[in-house]
Structure formats: structure tokens, C-alpha cells
Amino acid sequence: MSDNFSSWLLCKAMGWRIDVTVEIPAKFIICLAPHTSNWDFIIGQLYSRAARLKSNFLMKKEWFFWPLGPVFRKLGGIPVFRSKHTSMTDQLAEYAMKSQTFGLTITLEGTRSLNPEWKKGFYYIALKAQIPILLYGLDYEKKVISCTKIIHPSGNIDKDMKEIKLYYKDFKGKHPELFTIGTTD
């Protein structure tokens, strides 16, 4: 799908606006929230094509069945085997450190269901690899894709997670009842 067609489909046909004020570095992690619908994936893919933004993404291994598996891998999908106790965060951080460019998109909740306990693997990858975290929000109420903040992990995860959660407090997912920032104290 071409960049121009993706942009037309997302912004003209579907009516989304783009509010991205941060510069995209060579290495980054994108935190995407709220994640309440499979539509988030489609919107994200259209945006990344329109913006020419190359980023891999994590997805539970159950989605990598035929014929979707090869398609998701081609789009940059990395299957997550939740039952295996491997150190995926360490492996991804090592890969990021060795690469000239690195982009990884992670949904903070790790599920489309209501989850006040956000995943923190993205933070540890960014901290170990010393790369910034770009905060992308999907607001279905306003039909805006927004990224106006970058976090450079300080090592104080409680302070940084509070800042990240507060950034997302006003975003409305496709199913707002399935999104919460949880506690911030």
C-alpha cells in the first residue's frame, strides 16, 4: 500500500488528524495507548505507512497462524510466547544497541481488555538500550493520532511511569470502558 494512499485513506476517507510534534530519532520505542480494539492495529499500520515510519511490533503468538502469520511478519510483527520464560526485553535491548536503526511499537496495556497493571518491558528495553520512548495516543473521540511527548528513561521507573500514565489520561479508545491508566501514586 502506497504512502499517499495510506494517508488519503486515514486522513480523508476515515477522517483522522495527525498531531505529531516530536522528531523521530533513529532508535526509539513507541508506546501506543489506548489499545481497546483490533482497529488500533489497522489505524497504526495506516499511520506508519503514511508517515513512512518503520517500526516492528509485538503481538501474541496466537495471531501468527496461517495465513496471517506471514503477513504479520512482513509488516514487522514479532510473536510473543507468553508461556516461555525468556528474556525478550534483554534480547530486544541488545538488538537495539547493535543496530543503526531500531523502532518498536508496544501497547502499554498488553491487551485489549481492561488492565490497570501496564506492562513495563518497553521501559526496561529503552533504559538498557538508552533510547527514547515516544508516547503515541489514539483518540477515537477526537479522531486524532497524537505524539507530543518523548520520555528518556531516568531509571526511576515509578516517576517515569507516572508521567507516562498521566500523558494518556485524556485519550479515549474505541471502547473507552476498556481503558484505564490505573494508579499513578
Task: Tell me the per-residue pLDDT of 70-94, one tens digit each, with 9 for 90 and over.
Answer: 777 777 677 766 665 568 888 888 8
The answer to the question of residue 27 being in a domain is yes
The answer to the question of residue 184 being in a domain is no
C-alpha cell at 111: 491487551
Is the pLDDT at 116 greater than 70? The verdict is yes
- The reply to whether omega before 67 is within 30° of 0 (cis) is yes
Mark out the alpha helices in the chain (DSSP H runs).
3-7, 39-50, 68-74, 88-98, 121-129, 157-168
Q: How many domains does the chain have?
A: 1
- The range of the structural domain enclosing residue 167 comes to 3-178
The answer to the question of residue 30 being in a domain is yes
Task: Tell me the per-residue pLDDT of 40-71, one tens digit each, with 9 for 90 and over.
Answer: 989 998 999 899 998 887 766 776 678 877 77
Query: In angstroms, rounded to a whole number, what is the distance separating the alpha carbons of residues 134 and 124?
Result: 14
